[in-house]
Structure 1
């Protein structure tokens, strides 16, 4: 079955999906995006993802491409036409097509595209043994709370992690504190047993999986802190893990070549992954 994309009102084979050369997303990265996981036929945390999509659009003063109800219909039709049950739904909106000029065009129609691809979940080995991360300077702009398509610093960090044989890069700010990963949120269980993740704000993207994990922690009665933590605190941690829409909760057992805790996934991380997956499976299956 050929992959089908949605491009500005039309469902087309992925090989025929095209945007205009003067689309401001292509020329200026003037747009935002979202990724919603489809897990065993379930759209996970769809509403929070759409809430963040609206927030990002609003912060960049880009008009919504369609109503929320219409967008949900597009996503469901895309799932139906591609026949997938475990996938990642990607959609983005740009300011639209206009002659190249830095200032916002006076009259322009928001451009919208959506694609879906089969998901590549973490391997059983990654879940059971954990993954490694490296730390790198955080060179991104100061509005990381906006899910912008301008991701070049993130790509550079991910590539350096890949070249180092690591799964992810944790980004370190000038004051020595870790903001987040190149495409994930960062968590640790400190040496004295405190579960910590960076507080939401302009320095990080407030991950939807991060938000879901926080709700699960509250429901489970597990204490946690939202604050900055340093690289040194991470190196001394008992446990570490990352959260994201594609990896859910994934243990980290090595940071910059140093073993985290006992060098294997700890009890807090294992419990949270199990609880997260169980909660995800409570989401209704798409009809």
Structure 2
């Protein structure tokens, strides 16, 4: 089956989907994106992703071109047209097409809307069985990381640094503390069994999977603290893991070439991964 994408109201074969050169997303990275997971052909925790899309658009002054209901219709149609059972739906909104100028174009300029799907093995991801390796890198990003901007060059460089080190993910560091992963939220588990993740601020994205995992920890009596943690704490942790729409809960088995615990996925991360799948399968 050939893939279908959505561009400005049309469903098109992926190889025919086009965005103009003068689109501000291409010229300035002036846009917002979202990614939602699909399991069994169903969108997972999608209301949270659409709410975050609305917030990000508001923060940079782009009017949301669709209601939540309309967005979900587009997503659902793409899932159906692409026969997607497991994977991701990607949404992107830019400020639209206008003559190149740093200031915003006229308010009447329509936003550009693009969406597509990607098949991905989430349920049986081999990395979840072996555990992921992580490297720490300097956080080079701008000050508004709570906005899910398409300006991802710093994350690209971090992910490439991880790939060159043979690692699956990079945990970014600012002032000696972990901010988040290059495409994920970072967690550690201390030696007394406390789960720790950085509190929300402009320094990190409010992860939708992060939110669900925090709620699950509370529901099932797992102790969790939202506070900064250092690189040294990460290196000395009993466990670590990261969360995202594409990884769900991913155990970490080594950081910067040093094994965590016994070098295998830890019990807290494995438990939270199981709980998240149960949560995901129960969502409408």
Q: If the length of structure 1 is used for normalisation, what is the TM-score? A: 0.96
Superposed CA RMSD: 1.1
* Separation of aligned partners in 1, 2:198 and 2:246: 20
Q: What SS is found at the alignment partner of 1:229?
A: coil
How far residue 269 of structure 1 moved from its aligned partner, in angstroms, is 0.9
How far residue 123 of structure 1 moved from its aligned partner, in angstroms, is 5.7
Q: Is the 8 A contact 1:122 1:247 kept in 2?
A: no
More deviation in 264-273 or 89-98?
A: 264-273
Q: Is the 8 A contact 1:135 1:172 kept in 2?
A: yes
For residue 264 of structure 1, what is the aligned residue in structure 2? 264
Q: Is the 8 A contact 2:190 2:237 kept in 1?
A: yes
For residue 137 of structure 1, what is the aligned residue in structure 2? 138
Q: What SS is found at the alignment partner of 1:281?
A: helix
For residue 236 of structure 1, what is the aligned residue in structure 2? 236
Q: If the length of structure 2 is used for normalisation, what is the TM-score? A: 0.97
- Residue-by-residue CA offset, 1:231-275 (whole Å, 9 max, x unaligned): 000100001001111111111010001111121111111111111
How far residue 131 of structure 1 moved from its aligned partner, in angstroms, is 1.2
- Residue-by-residue CA offset, 1:123-176 (whole Å, 9 max, x unaligned): 654222211100000010011000000000000000010010000000000x20
How far residue 201 of structure 1 moved from its aligned partner, in angstroms, is 1.0
Tell me, yes or no, if structure 1 residue 247 matches structure 2 residue 244: no
* Separation of aligned partners in 1, 2:192 and 2:75: 44
How far residue 101 of structure 1 moved from its aligned partner, in angstroms, is 0.2
| Runs of 5+ unmatched residues, structure 1 | none
For residue 206 of structure 1, what is the aligned residue in structure 2? 206
Q: Is the 8 A contact 2:139 2:172 kept in 1?
A: yes
* Separation of aligned partners in 2, 1:122 and 1:40: 10
Q: Is the 8 A contact 1:172 1:178 kept in 2?
A: yes
Tell me, yes or no, if structure 1 residue 38 matches structure 2 residue 38: yes
Tell me, yes or no, if structure 1 residue 182 matches structure 2 residue 195: no
Q: Is the 8 A contact 2:188 2:239 kept in 1?
A: yes
* Separation of aligned partners in 1, 2:213 and 2:127: 19
